[in-house]
Amino acid sequence: MSNFEVGQELAAVSYPIDRSLLVAYANASGDQNPIHQDEEFAKSVGLPDVIAHGMLTMALAGRFVSDVAGGSANVKEFFARFIKPVVVPAGSTVNLIISGKISAIENGIAKIDIQAICDDVKVLGMAKAVISLS
């Protein structure tokens, strides 16, 4: 694992999201809420279109954290607030841009502040993780 420094920026990674990913994530997670797959249903409850599961957005941010940590086994804590939906129109791919910054290092752990941006809009708030450096 690389030696981190407080304040170090973690390079942004782009994660593409399309309708097929929403189906794959619904099947893997068991969250079959139709707002994540059925456009007509999503619009009937006041959404602009199908939206990604908040937990999918968080899972992709988690993948970023696992990569930084040198594996999922080193991820100790993870928090995110869902502040804006990620809208996924049919036939298109939207890009979720995840980046981070080391905010603290102490006693063998590092704290990371995470940014998640989609279409120039921040979709996760207060997102942060604690990873083990051991």
Q: Is residue 77 near other proteins by the rule CB under 8 A?
A: yes
| β-bridge mates for residue 121, sequence order | 118
| β-bridge mates for residue 120, sequence order | none
CA-to-CA dists, residue 97 to 17, 24, 120, angstroms: 11, 20, 9
Q: Is residue 119 near other proteins by the rule CB under 8 A?
A: no
Residue 114 is encoded by which pair of tokens?
């995470």
Work out which of 15, 19, 116, 118 binds other proteins, going by CB under 8 A. Answer: 15
Q: Is residue 43 near other proteins by the rule CB under 8 A?
A: no
- C-alpha gyration radius of the chain: 16
Q: Is residue 10 near other proteins by the rule CB under 8 A?
A: no
Residues that bind other proteins (CB under 8 A): 15, 21, 24-25, 27-31, 45, 54-56, 58-60, 62-63, 65-66, 71-73, 75-82, 125-126, 129
